[in-house]
Amino acid sequence: MRFQAFGSSLLCALYAGLAVATVLVDFQVAQPPPIPKNTKQCTIQILQRDFAFSFGMSEVVQFQPPTDCGPVGSWAAITLNFTVTSNGTQFDRLGIFTFQNVEIWRTSTPEPTRGDGIIWTYVKDVTRYTPLFAKPGIFILQLDNLIETGLDGIYSTVLHATFHASSLVHPPTPKADLIVPISSLANDTGNDVSVPPTFSLNVTLPQNTVKIFAELYASGNGQEEFWYFNTANEFLPDLPGFLGQGPFREVRLLVDGKVAGVAYPYATIFTGGIVPTAWRPITSYGALDLPTYFIDITPFVPLLTDGKPHAFSLDVTSAEDDHTILQNWFLSAALQVFLDKSLKPTTGKMTLYSADPFSKTSTTGSAGGGDVNITVAATRKIHIESTIVSGSGQVNHVVFTQDLRYNNVQNILNNTLIQNVLQTSSGSVSSTHNGVSVVVDKFSYPLGINITNFDPSGNSFMSTFDHSYNRDLLPLPIVLRSQIVERQKASGFFFINPNGNTGNGTSNNQFSYIDAAGNTFFRTVNAALNNITFDQQSGTLAPTSTPHFPFAKITGSQGKPRLPNGRVIPDV
């Protein structure tokens, strides 16, 4: 058995009581949510569900806000605890949490082992969605799992919400007046949308709207899961069978057909990604809590407060001439809307709009002697300014800018035996209101993946990963600014075998979190062959209990690999 400290002596006691078990405790490295200590907490179970064959059968429950932690909506913080067990063979699966038609958390499942199986817990800070939790409504978890020949892993889930009461020391969290989904609005399944084609929704906003901030959820799926490995179309003839449309992806939010802001997404690697054994027990960064992207669309307020519907569109574009992508990306967005106290319409004027429809991109490369080397680069600049006058007379001068860079080098060598990619997305997003920063996103996401096949069958290979998530983020003016510096170096061998896949893996992680309230969390944690070999945690958010590292006995089911370039592994 392995133990991951969550600062909960309860969890420790729970596993201490099962000393003989060797359940593998999977986890993603992340900071424990910076929530107030020593305030009253009210925990309610939102749902419990065993996801066996669950394709198209989401868990849909009615949520009632708790009334025993102070006035409804006056909480200091809200967290969700998703705890899951599984035993058997299964692919990683995407999980979409939707509440009041707003996506509030996108996760994925660690692939299970057979025998004693796996368990994981992730505690997610959802305080920024407080306006949703202050009302009863429909809560949905979409986790489309398949049970079929060779796949028997069931995901047994339980989700709790903890409401942290406010006090004099910990005031109620600041919050938006309303949260407006840009989503499918379905009441029976997760509210993401599949693109292409472009998704559009007409939204009518209150006429006294003064500020709007958008949050985007985005992940590649199917032929787009390994988008950073996709091949530029002009080199497809040199790489028959590879997936096209190149490796560059830009997620766009458009308002009435005009680009309002974009994201150069972080590449989340799911736990079946190339070498499943590399992600056990430490998942790739982001696999349990996919990063989201923030755009200030306040500059569009003067155009949106006429009381009429306006089209909000979401899509993903490539660096190819037609800007299209393959199938598919899952997207959703939500608008955090702030209103003026007066009921009079907001007025104003957009004074500067500088945003091209697409990023500037270039593709270069050469092929010959069994090698194909390709570099795809992109840059993007957006600058939008508006002056906004609220009904009660306040003037807000808004400046929103994005300055983004992207570079992807693919070296496909030795007649595709070697497939190396080195990608860096970086940039700076800024929004100021009367000179005060309200959105800041300075990010750098370097990603190196080298795959070496030992023979042309593609059934025996090793891969190395060097993946970072460096982000200085003020997502919304109501959320703490924080800096995360994270680097994960992982590697593993994998052998696909009709009698059962075999493999191994190592993972070395360095993580640091610092926020504007002085909360800190630092963790260095390494694993080899399913064992935690080193774990050091410190900082104000670090758990006080001492982690220990008993050894796991892992039998069977070394995982189901998902591979770039559309390779389908037969079920075993």
Residues that bind ligand NAG (CB under 6 A): 6, 8, 10-11, 14, 81, 83, 87-88, 114, 116-117, 121, 123, 158, 160, 185-187, 200-202, 309, 311, 366-369, 371, 373, 411, 413-414, 417-418, 420, 448, 450, 452, 464-466, 493, 504, 506, 528-531, 551-552, 554
Pick 430 or 464: Cβ nearer ligand NAG: 464
Phi and psi angles of residue 9, each rounded to the nearest 5 degrees, phi first:
-70, -20
Query: 494 - beta bridge partners?
Result: 461, 503
Q: How far is the CB of 387 from ligand NAG (least distance, A)?
A: 27
Chain position carrying tokens 């067990």: 85
Give the residue with the Cβ less far from ligand NAG, 107 or 530: 530
C-alpha separations of 45 from 13, 79, 128, 251 in Å: 21, 12, 20, 34
What's the rounded Cα separation, in Å, for the pair 44 and 63? 10
Burial class for 540, CB neighbours closer than 10 Å (0-12, 13-18, 19+): middle
- Which residue's CB is nearer to ligand NAG, number 317 or number 504? 504
Nearer to ligand NAG, 476 or 541 (CB): 541
User: Among residues 118 and 210, whose Cβ is nearest to ligand NAG?
Assistant: 118
d(CA 155, CA 542): 29
Phi, psi of 277 (to 5 degrees): -70, -15
As measured in angstroms, the least distance from the Cβ of 449 to ligand NAG is: 6
Q: How far is the CB of 288 from ligand NAG (least distance, A)?
A: 13
Find tokens 């995407």 and name the residue.
94
Q: How far is the CB of 398 from ligand NAG (least distance, A)?
A: 26
The angle at the Cα of 263, spanning 259 to 265, to the nearest 5 degrees, equals 150
Quick one: 24 or 404, whose CB is closer to ligand NAG? Answer: 24
The nearest distance, CB 351 to ligand NAG, in angstroms, is 26
Rank residues 56 and 368 by Cβ distance to ligand NAG and give the closer one: 368
With beta carbons less than 8 A apart as the criterion, state whether 524 and 534 touch. yes
In angstroms, give the least distance from the CB of 113 to ligand NAG: 9
Q: Would you say the C-alpha torsion 59, 215, 64, 121 has a positive or negative sign?
A: positive
**In this structure, what token pair is assigned to residue 386?**
């508006």
Closer by beta carbon to ligand NAG, 41 or else 221: 41
Do 367 and 235 meet the contact criterion of CB atoms below 8 Å apart? Answer: yes
Closest approach, Cβ 531 to ligand NAG, in A, equals 4
Pick between residue 87 and residue 284 the one whose CB is nearest to ligand NAG: 87
**Which SS3 state, helix, strand or coil, does residue 150 take?**
coil
Is the bond into 196 cis (omega within 30 degrees of 0)? yes
Nearer to ligand NAG, 9 or 434 (CB): 9
147 or 158: whose CB is closer to ligand NAG? 158
Shortest Å distance, C-beta 371 to ligand NAG:
4
User: Do 232 and 372 meet the contact criterion of CB atoms below 8 Å apart?
Assistant: no
Kindly state the smallest distance separating residue 116's Cβ from ligand NAG, in Å: 5
Query: Which amino acid is located at 26 in the chain?
Result: D
SS3 per-residue string spanning 293-324? EEEECHHHHHHHCCCCCEEEEEEEECCCCCCC
Give the C-alpha separation, 261 to 384, whole Å.
10
Question: Could you tell me the smallest distance in angstroms from the CB atom of residue 331 to ligand NAG?
Answer: 15
Taking the least distance from each CB to ligand NAG, the nearer of 387 and 545 is 545
Closer CB to ligand NAG, residue 338 or residue 494?
494
Please name which of 79, 77, 80 lies closest in space to residue 166, comparing C-alpha atoms. Answer: 77
Q: How far is the CB of 91 from ligand NAG (least distance, A)?
A: 17
| Of the candidates 32, 31, 133, the residue with the CA atom closest to the CA atom of residue 75 | 133
Pairing of strands 178-182, 209-220: unpaired
Min dist CB 394 to ligand NAG, Å, is 31
In b/e form, how buried is each residue of 177-210, taking b as 16+ CB within 10 angstroms?
Answer: eebbbbbbebeebbbbbebeeebebebebbbbbb
**Hunting for tokens 């009441």 — which residue is that?**
187
CB of 344 to ligand NAG, least distance (A): 25
